[in-house]
Amino acid sequence: MIMANKMEFLKKIINDTEKGIKGYIKAQVKLMFITFIIMSIGLTIIDVPYVILISLGIAILDIIPVLGAGLVMIPWSIISFIAGQNKMGINLSIIYIVLLILRQIIEPKIVGKEIGLRPLYTFVATILGAAILGPLGVILGPIIAIIINSIARIKKDSDEER
């Protein structure tokens, strides 16, 4: 009987964690879309050719923790300054800074909503993950928080049933 309860408890945790991880993936796709929109608008305003293609590439790269859009935007800005295209360098820098600020504001809310954690917990999990595990921790931090949250929620529910 006790073993059956433990197996049921474990099954609930696995199911809840699976939902959380699916939510995390859904949140990342939403964030990529937001990055695509921001980049498309910004690059259109400064009249860059191939806006859709460039924005799509940057949005895909943005899934890489910490580096993301900076892999393209930082070198592009620097090269623009070196080439004497100061206006382009400044404009690209502004677009990147706007993207960074908006992502910092929006990301914890979207991820928190999709995985069932409060934005502050998601933010703390991301920061702690990055501090402890480096760039990989940006992904693993929220996943570990999902698992902990699932265990706590299922434990609380099972305690209330008794």
- The domain limits of the chain are 2-161
d(CA 97, CA 94): 5
Q: How much is the pTM? A: 0.78
- Give the model confidence (pLDDT) of 16-49 as tens digits: 889 888 998 899 899 999 999 999 999 999 999 9
Rounded Cα–Cα distance for residues 52 and 39 (Å): 9
CA angle 111, 25, 29 (to 5 degrees): 85
What is the per-residue pLDDT across 130-149, written as a single tens digit (0 to 9) for each? 899 988 888 888 889 988 98
d(CA 40, CA 13): 40
**Taking residues 49-63, what's their average pLDDT?**
94
